[in-house]
Amino acid sequence: MAEIWIKEAERLGDGSIGGAMDSPSAPPRAVWHTTESGAGDAAFNAVASYLIRVQSEPHILYDPMTDRLGQYGPLNASARALRNDGSTRTNRTGRVCIQIEVLAKAGKPFTAYWRPGPNFRALMRALRSWGIPDAWPAGALASSYSDDVSRSRITWATKGGHYGHCHVPGNDHWDPGAIDVRALLTAGGDNSIPSTGGETKATPEPSVSRATTTIGGLVYGYGAHGDHVTAVGRALVEKGHGAAYRVGPGPTWSDADTVNYAGWQRSLGFTGSDADGVPGETSLRHLMGTLPGAQPVVDLSNLISAARRDPGLRQGGTTHPTDVAVVEAALRAEGLLSSRYAADGSFGSLTKTAYAAWQRRCGYSGSGADGIPGRASLERLGATHGFTVKA
Ligand SMILES: [Zn+2]
């Protein structure tokens, strides 16, 4: 069951901080912050009321020294510790966007000295109950007062998992600092074994995997939620792999879905961990006939105007960062654009050079390979990299 209020947490404030998510079909995520304060009860109390006063409440306030856990608002609604990215309300991205403020400083990574306890495990249990995968899709955290991190809009829009505030597009903070991301997940307990209240397992039983995976921007596996989960369940039933359902397929991925899916994988000849019931691209494509997932649509005229924009016009003008970022990610995947500039959403000279290289690869030359996208080359890029073109 997805947890809305963590029973181990004390309530902070009046319990109402945000509202409904803007993109509930996007994968679930958590965002880690540091309060840039000390720890201990006095700091906890002061910061708790300060965040209310400035209306920047996260969902969770956590003390890494005392394991004290507070919660401001329900996990299935938005918090307000992030800045918007233009018109994108980053606080409201995803099935959930659970924000955690840790009483620590980014310059002194808290995982080096913290003392996580049962409340931290309760927090991680709650995050996982929403299907947030044990992954850091934006990569490395900022390691000092530096800006050398990915704030990719595409990653943010399409990937579930754990983010630092430093990874969120439209934001310029670098918290939570260079915390040890593995230590963080490990301190949360084993993801694959549901909590049994401290019982020790006498004999290992065949356990059902509770891992999750993201394919085509959609999350599959235990706890995943959405119409795409129901669709997979229906397809399994149709193919004769519905035996584990007691009440039929539904929108939240359960152990029954995993057991049925494992049967489907075995029927395709997969064995071992390839038949653990957590979908892979091949088995999913076979089951659904196509790979589900929202393909981004790139508007060709937006792209052309972004590419032709006077580089002097830094302010104003039309830049269409969303369209540009999709194309940049594809150029990066082709090895034509360095990851440093990929997905910055600006069709600058490096992007233009990269696109011209793509055009030459498509057989164009001269003015046909000037780096200004054309329909045919763009459609060809999209066919390989999962976007469609609106001309
Ligand atoms: Zn922050």
Average pLDDT of the chain, as a whole number: 87
Average pLDDT of the residues in 122-134:
95
pLDDT score for 201 = 38
Residue 160's identity, in one-letter code, is: G
pLDDT score for 308 = 85
Max mean pLDDT range (47-61, 185-199, 241-255, 336-350): 47-61
Which residues pair with residue 70 across a beta bridge?
10, 61
How many angstroms does the Cα of residue 34 sit away from the middle of ligand 1? 6
How many angstroms does the Cα of residue 168 sit away from the middle of ligand 1? 10
How many angstroms does the Cα of residue 112 sit away from the middle of ligand 1? 19
The tokens of 110 are what?
């808290």
How many angstroms does the Cα of residue 164 sit away from the middle of ligand 1? 8
Rg of the chain taking only CA atoms, in angstroms: 23
d(CA 258, CA 256): 5
pLDDT digits (tens, 9 = 90+) for 277-332: 999 888 998 898 877 876 788 899 989 888 887 655 544 456 788 888 889 888 98
d(CA 257, CA 234): 10
Average pLDDT of the residues in 100-113:
94
How many angstroms does the Cα of residue 369 sit away from the middle of ligand 1? 43
121 has pLDDT over 60: yes
pTM over 0.75: no
Average pLDDT of the residues in 184-197:
63
Cα atoms in the Cβ-side hemisphere of radius 13 Å centred on 21:
18
How many angstroms does the Cα of residue 23 sit away from the middle of ligand 1? 21
Average pLDDT of the residues in 41-49:
94
Max mean pLDDT range (267-271, 292-296, 360-364): 360-364
Dihedral class, residue 240 (left if φ above 0, else alpha if ψ from -120 to 50, else beta) = left
d(CA 390, CA 300): 6
User: Any idea which residue has 């995803």 for tokens?
Assistant: 94
Cis preceding linkage at 109, omega within 30: no
In the chain, CATH 3.40.80.10 covers 10-187
Average pLDDT of the residues in 30-56:
94
CATH architecture of the domain 212-288 equals Orthogonal Bundle (1.10)
Q: How far is CA 252 from CA 226, 228, 229, 230, in A?
A: 7, 10, 6, 8
Q: How far is CA 332 from CA 111, 160, 300, 328, in A?
A: 33, 21, 19, 6
- Domain 10-187 -> CATH class: alpha beta
Position 145 confidence tier, pLDDT thresholds 50, 70, 90: low
Give 95 or 254, the one with higher predicted confidence: 95
Q: What is the DSSP letter of 135?
A: -
Q: Is 303 helix (H, G, I), strand (E, B) or coil?
A: helix
d(CA 33, CA 103): 9
How many angstroms does the Cα of residue 163 sit away from the middle of ligand 1? 11
How many angstroms does the Cα of residue 6 sit away from the middle of ligand 1? 22
Contacts of 189 (CB under 8 A, 6+ apart): 121, 124, 125, 195
pLDDT score for 6 = 95
Average pLDDT of the residues in 369-386:
90
In the chain, CATH 1.10.101 covers 212-288
Q: Among candidates 282, 260, 338, 26, which has minimal Cα distance to 154?
A: 26
How many angstroms does the Cα of residue 56 sit away from the middle of ligand 1? 10
Q: Look at 99-103, 167-171, 329-333 and tell me which has the smallest mean pLDDT.
A: 329-333
CA dihedral 87, 90, 94, 96 (to 10 degrees): -140
How many angstroms does the Cα of residue 348 sit away from the middle of ligand 1? 29
Neighbours of 105 (CB within 10 A): 17
pLDDT score for 347 = 86
d(CA 250, CA 242): 12
User: Any idea which residue has 């193919």 for tokens?
Assistant: 239
d(CA 181, CA 141): 9
Max mean pLDDT range (130-134, 213-217, 304-308, 340-344): 130-134
pLDDT score for 188 = 87
How many angstroms does the Cα of residue 212 sit away from the middle of ligand 1? 27
Say if CB 21 and CB 97 are below 8 A apart: yes
Q: Among candidates 239, 240, 236, which has minimal Cα distance to 220?
A: 236
pLDDT digits (tens, 9 = 90+) for 9-21: 999 999 999 999 9
How many angstroms does the Cα of residue 55 sit away from the middle of ligand 1? 13
pLDDT score for 387 = 83
Could you list which residues have their CB under 5 Å from ion ligand 1? 33, 165, 173, 175
76 has pLDDT over 50: yes
